A and B are shown apart, each in its own frame.
Chain A
Amino acid sequence: MGQQISRRTFLKGGIVSAAGLAASSIPAAAAVTEPDQKTQLATLLDISKCIGCGACVEACQETNSHKYPEPQKPFPQMFPDRAKVSDWSDKQDVTERLTPYNWLFIQHASVKINGEETELTIPRRCMHCVNPPCVKLCPWGAAKQLENGISRIDPDICLGGSKCNAVCPWDIPQRQTGVGLYLDILPNFAGNGVMFKCDRCYDQIEAGQLPACIEACPEDVQTIGPRPEIIKKAHKLAKEINGYIYGETENGGTNTIYVSPVPFEELDKAIEKGKGKPHLAGVSDQMADANNLAAAMVIAPLAGIAAAARKIYNYTQKSDKMKERV
């Protein structure tokens, strides 16, 4: 462990895996497959390197197409009709936003660097939060967080209620109607399909390989490794280019760390935002507010016991006085 893995360095050390060696015998691959239990794997994206070629988008689609939904049509009639059909099956070639069939897209931003108008391109996908609201607040347990920090949605369990999308600060999970478990339960009254998003190629990682977007990138934009080391590397890079970091503290910390030569406030203003097009604004720790109440849950029973003790004391005092008077 103890090292970050770029595509090139992974190939140098990890190509051996192709020869059939066990992943555990390769230091780099081992870092990917068996991260420290206490650390999660994070990716570092150096925005200044990205040329917006789209190789990562293509690789993502090629690698993950077997996970894409194959909805049954016609869709069940929804009741009440407030629940709208979300159908992307006829728009599978859309690549300019996140959809159930496109888990990674390139955002464009025209910004000024040293007074010169520059076009920056930013690969966008799930941030894989350290404490992911989509996973923690999924009412069925369909969204899961793996020990290596990957958040993924189980298409066999998800009912498509879209709560994960509602609580995601970046509007990442996208719904496809007409597929999944809800069809076997009460398709007209509950559920509405399955939510889809980047699973950071969890199956590739299990097999000791890199996520497709990292593997395919010709510019080595992305690096993957244990989160503390990726954070260190992000700070080093930011210092070198006099740049800025996004994802380290947003929503309490994520496992997708961006380093940009321009402030993220500027990038956020410059990118096109909307449904399936996540922002780059600051995000406070969404889970923290209620989590901070856990202390109150420890104190509350003690307060209850104290209140009861006061009542018992008053009662016995008054009983004693009554006895004295009698």
Chain B
Amino acid sequence: MKAAAVSLTDSKRENRAMRYMYVLTVFFMALTGFGQMPIYKRYYLSDIPGFGWLANFWTTRYVHYVGAALLLGIVAYMIVQYIALNRRQYKVSVTGYLRGILLLGIVLTGILFVIKNFPVIVFSPEFIIALNLSHLGLVMTFLLVNLYCLIFKKRWTNVR
């Protein structure tokens, strides 16, 4: 019984650490993502001590890319863990599906951005505009849905 109790505590601790990492990653992704628009300097946000780096497009882009790699790792971890360990006990909630679909859209459009930024990859201007608007639109919807879930205490999964 003792072994099981230790295992459960370790698992909970690991899950909590993953959750914090996920929230932090999403926060920095959103922060640096919006920083791709020239707004932080104009609106004095980069004047706040410690936020000066937000005015540097190269830094925000680099942090955004690091965040993207982290997010992909965390999402892969969460999905595999859910399928292998938690699926029998928990089912994905409606808001969980909604957030999952939005996140998938953000990841897919993000991948296209990464491809676009390589040399000699020329997407049509119309496609790039659609990509910009859809990535931004998906992120804003994702953040609003997360805000709703935070206020109304909606979880990704519910007990079956």
Contact = CB atoms under 8 A, between A and B. Distances in A.
Interface of A: 38, 40, 80, 82-83, 130-131, 136-137, 139-141, 144-147, 154, 157, 161-163, 166-167, 190, 252-253, 286-287, 289-291, 293-294, 296-297, 299-305, 307-309, 311-312, 314-315, 318-319, 321-322, 325
Contacts of A314: 7, 10
Nearest to A132: B119
13 contacts: A139-B132, A161-B37, A253-B119, A290-B65, A290-B117, A291-B118, A296-B69, A300-B70, A300-B76, A301-B73, A314-B10, A315-B11, A315-B85
A297 B111 CA distance: 9
A38 B4 contact: no
Contact of B75 (A38, A141, A190, A301): A301
B3 A131 contact: no
Contacts of A305: 76-77, 80
Contacts of B129: 140-141, 157
Max count, chain B CB within 10 A of own CB: residue among A38, A252, A302, A322: A322
A242 to B, nearest CB: 31
Contacts of B41: 82
Contact of B61 (A137, A253, A309): A137
Contacts of B74: 304
A238 to B, nearest CB: 24
A124 B120 CA distance: 24
A224 B147 CA distance: 55
B38 interface: yes
A311 B81 contact: yes
A82 B42 contact: yes
Given A297-B69, A305-B80, A286 B125 contact: no
Nearest to B115: A294
A141 B128 contact: yes
Interface in B1-21: 1, 3-4, 6-7, 10-11, 14
B90 interface: no
Contact of B57 (A163, A304, A325): A163
Contacts of B43: 80
